[in-house]
A = this chain, B = another copy of it.
Amino acid sequence: MPRDGRPTRERILISAEALVIENGYAATSVDQVIAASGTSKGAFFHHFGSKLDLARALVERYAAGDVAQLDAATAYAEAVTDEPLGQVDAFLAWFEERADDLMDEQSSCLYISVLTERQLVNAGTAEPIVKAVVAWRDGLARLLAAALADGAGGRRHQVDVDALADHVFVTFEGAFLLARATGDPGHMRRQLHVLRDLVRALLRAR
């Protein structure tokens, strides 16, 4: 068991995240997490009161990273241009360009593993996920609303801006599943590209 610089608690979280994303929560045993992180039962239950406790910590950590990515994409979009239309486009392009790296480091999303099991949702584990979704919706909907006020698309199609913002989240999660089903990680990039084309067409329709 090689000692890297990371504190034990974080080592456990990192190993557990990979295992749960790959195999699901119920299919991941505490012993597996212990083996993968090179720790022990004593260490595990010292840092986490129960397996469910680990799940909560896992989702909280993961969602925080997710919101951080949203902020990075928004900052990039706002740095590139002042035009609302261009900002939405740059926002989507940011993710599209990072799609391959994203699929490299994780072949799926922790949210999917968590939302699959009702016991986790009932235990409040989905709450950080909802917060992340709302953060995405708020952030992107703001950009979209400005763009729709700018272009003609909004008036023509009466777009539900919140639902359109949610569609980005929906595309991400759906693309993860499609990539898993077919074994082709390239779907993430292609789906984000499709999304960008679709949103472009909607915003520029006149």
| Chain A 173-206 residues near chain B, CB threshold 8 A | 173-175, 177-178, 180-182, 187, 190-191, 193-195, 197-202, 204-205
B180–A170 CB distance below 8 A: no
Looking at chain A's contact residues, is the secondary structure mostly helix, strand, loop, or mixed?
Answer: helix
Q: Does A111 contact B (CB under 8 A)?
A: yes
Q: Does A160 contact B (CB under 8 A)?
A: yes
Count the copies. Answer: 2
Query: Can you name 20 A-B pairs with beta carbons within 8 Å?
Result: A25-B27, A26-B27, A27-B117, A111-B181, A112-B112, A126-B181, A129-B181, A130-B182, A160-B190, A163-B190, A163-B191, A166-B191, A170-B170, A170-B174, A170-B178, A173-B174, A174-B175, A174-B177, A197-B202, A198-B198
